[in-house]
Structure 1
Amino acid sequence: MTTIVRRTTAVLGALALGTSLAVVATPAAQASTTTPTTTTGCATGTLPDEITGRPADFTAGLSSGYWIWKDSNGWHLRVTHKPGTRAVYAGTIRTSAQTTVIGVRNEARDRVWRSADRKTTAFTLVNYGGIDGLDFTPRCSERVTFTLTVNGRPIDPMRIHLGDSDSHPAASTFTISRIPLSA
């Protein structure tokens, strides 16, 4: 069994967008008028549009940050920063359902730990300007909570890029929740 160090952190900055959407957005965002993305075969609801689609301009060597999106192949978390220095990206992903996780472009110093119930993943990605990351599938999880750091400190939420809309959470710890299906 893998032991994961847990920090008590409040889920900060989740904004209510629209009438029933609990998702992160830029701190100064106004109410969203977007339609939720339909996810077939998932009784827990649909995902918000703000996290769908790979960011079109994401490439290695951008300014330090996290890029997170959902597409037909699952969820993706990537990190990169300007070449020539070392940056350590670390965090946790907590889900309400079991999750499968695969490391992407990981090197010898990159680590991924899983809890026994497969609902918590902790990671450390040592990056030198390329791309490191994780692909994960939280199987219709009602919510996914991220706690993200860089070099041992909470990352500026403006450096967390969500979906092809490039939305940003209000804090480095945030939750993305599914929109419940109408009865």
Structure 2
Amino acid sequence: MRNRIKKIMAVLMLVVISTACNVILGPPGSGSDYPAVPPVSSLPSDQLIEGQPNLNLISIRGGYYVWKVNNAWHVRVAKLEGPPTSFSNRPFFSGTILVDNGVIRNVDRTNISPVSKVQYTMKDINYKIEPRNNIEGFDFTINPLGDRYCITLDLRVNGGLTPKLVHVGRSMYIVDTLPITMCVQ
């Protein structure tokens, strides 16, 4: 009798542990669509970043505006208004864009002032933009190497992470945290 109770208790414990794992991690085969990376904001869908913003970017001040159309990406910065910060006499935008399972092509600077820099390889873009014009930025295309590629956008203002200044996609969705990582199919 005692052995039977021990066996029943052992089976019940396995069921409880298995159920707890499924609740915490999800059922088998339900892995995340996003790569294993350090804690970052992962947009729930690449559709949030799809499409050029609806509003005229010239009328908007201060921040990043990022969107894509198919595999063509666009990064714009709008000059920040206000007094100089403790970091810089002139606010600057800097960061890194990393691509996994894709190749960066056709990087094209748009209205970039001479003091700004955009450097790139096939896997990353590093930039520092000190806007002298209202809107500056760059465009690039990603050629996927498989069914999907992943992109990480580490977008900084005066060297710090300021998500409230980052607007993405047609609806100009404001991100919660930075950097942003997403996988696109």
Offset at 1:83? 5.1
1:63-74 paired onto structure 2 within 5 Å = 63-71=61-69, 74=72
Matching residue's letter, 1:169: V
Matched, 1:154 2:161: yes
Instruction: In structure 2, list runs of 5 or more residues that go unmatched.
Output: 1-36, 84-89
Normalised to the residue count of structure 1, the TM-score between the two structures is 0.67
Instruction: In structure 1, list runs of 5 or more residues that go unmatched.
Output: 1-8, 18-22, 24-47
Q: How many residues align?
A: 138
Of 133, 136, 139, the residue aligned with 1:135 is 139
Larger radius of gyration: 2
Alignment check: 8 A CA contact 1:12 1:173 kept: yes
Question: CA separation of 1:62/1:129 partners in 2, compared to 1, >3 Å: closer, same or farther?
Answer: farther
Question: CA separation of 1:12/1:73 partners in 2, compared to 1, >3 Å: closer, same or farther?
Answer: closer
Q: Percent identity?
A: 26
Q: Which is helix-richer, 1 or 2? A: 2
Alignment check: 8 A CA contact 2:94 2:157 kept: yes
CA deviation vs aligned residue, 1:47-102 (integer Å, no higher than 9, x gap): x2211111111423623211111125811000003457632000001012110211
Question: CA separation of 1:130/1:158 partners in 2, compared to 1, >3 Å: closer, same or farther?
Answer: same
Q: Secondary structure at the match of 1:158?
A: helix
Distance 1:149 1:137 in 2: 21
Q: CA RMSD in A?
A: 2.3
Question: CA separation of 1:165/1:108 partners in 2, compared to 1, >3 Å: closer, same or farther?
Answer: same
1:112-127 paired onto structure 2 within 5 Å = 112-115=118-121, 118-127=122-131
Q: Secondary structure at the match of 1:95?
A: strand
Of 85, 95, 103, the residue aligned with 1:98 is 103
Matching residue's letter, 1:10: P
Normalised to the residue count of structure 2, the TM-score between the two structures is 0.66
Equivalent residue, structure 2, for 1:75: 73
